[in-house]
A = this chain, B = another copy of it.
Amino acid sequence: MSALRDKILNTATDLFQTRGINSTGVDTIVAVAGTTKMTLYKYFHTKEGLILEVLNKSQQDFQSWLDNKLNTNSKAPADKIKQLFDFIEEWITSPSFLGMGFIKASAEFPNEENPIHQLSSKQSREFRQFISKLASEANIKDADGLALQLSLLFEGAVQAEQMKRGSGAIKYAKKAAKLLIDGAINQ
């Protein structure tokens, strides 16, 4: 709707990723976005509300990008899960990759009763369920089990890349994923 609202949302997304959420004040956000606090608080009632929206949008963007990749490149269900980590590699090694929002947010807000932590946890769970759906469509028996293992590799690789850009961890995650997928298919 509003271009200014989007600008604030995108600026906050970038600053949260590069400087941390708690270390980024609203004054910094509005200064970089080129607006004022009054406008920020018009669109986002609290900083927590802004954080939640940033997390939601980030995850939606990632999921849409991945859905599109899977739907345009893969046809058979078995192909989709086999190509999953190819696209994840593309995502992680992209120059614009700054980390995974829900992974960082859950670390900054460790209390399980905190709304930000809860959203992070939900996003992690939903992504795991997404993988599980891919697995069960490929007729894999223990779809949930494989999905959990693949999500561990995914989150581990993201973590490694957040710690050291260009770590190359995703290459080995891919190999491990292939082994786990092949093992689950031939069962």
A interface SS class: helix
Contact A162 B106 (CB under 8 A): yes
Does the CB pair B108–A20 fall under 8 Å? yes
Q: Could you tell me which residues of chain A, from 39 to 80, have a CB within 8 Å of some CB in chain B?
A: none
A159 CA to B99 CA in the complex, in Å?
Answer: 14
How near does chain B come to A35, taking the closest CB pair, in angstroms?
Answer: 24
Given contacts A104-B110, A110-B17, contact A172 B160 (CB under 8 A): no
Q: Which residues of B contact A4 (CB under 8 A)?
A: none
Q: Among the listed B121, B124, B156, B179, which residue makes an inter-chain contact with A155, where contact means beta carbons less than 8 Å apart? A: B156
Q: Which residues of B contact A153 (CB under 8 A)?
A: 149, 152-153, 156, 176
| Cβ of A120 under 8 Å from chain B | yes
Size bracket, chain A contacts: 35 or more
Enumerate chain B residues within 8 angstroms of A143, measured Cβ to Cβ: none
Query: Quick check: A103 and B22 within 8 Å, CB to CB?
Result: no
* Contact flag A107-B110 (CB < 8 Å), given A121-B164, A156-B159: no
Most chain B CB inside 10 Å of its own CB: which residue of A17, A108, A110: A110
Please state if A103 and B159 are interface contacts (CB–CB under 8 Å): yes
How far is A104 from B1 in the complex, measured between Cα atoms in Å? 36
A169 within 8 A of B: yes
Which residues of chain B are near A22, meaning CB under 8 Å? 20, 22-23, 108
By the criterion CB–CB under 8 Å, are B17 and A162 in contact?
A: no
* A172: chain B residues within 8 A (beta carbon): 145, 148-149, 152
Which 5 A-B residue pairings sit nearest by Cβ, starting from the closest?
A152-B156, A107-B107, A156-B156, A22-B22, A104-B107
Q: Write 9 A-B pairs (CB below 8 A) sorted by A numbering.
A: A20-B110, A22-B108, A99-B107, A103-B107, A106-B159, A149-B173, A149-B175, A152-B169, A153-B176
6 new A-B pairs (CB below 8 Å) besides A18-B111, A149-B172, A152-B176?
Answer: A23-B109, A99-B107, A106-B162, A117-B163, A156-B159, A179-B180
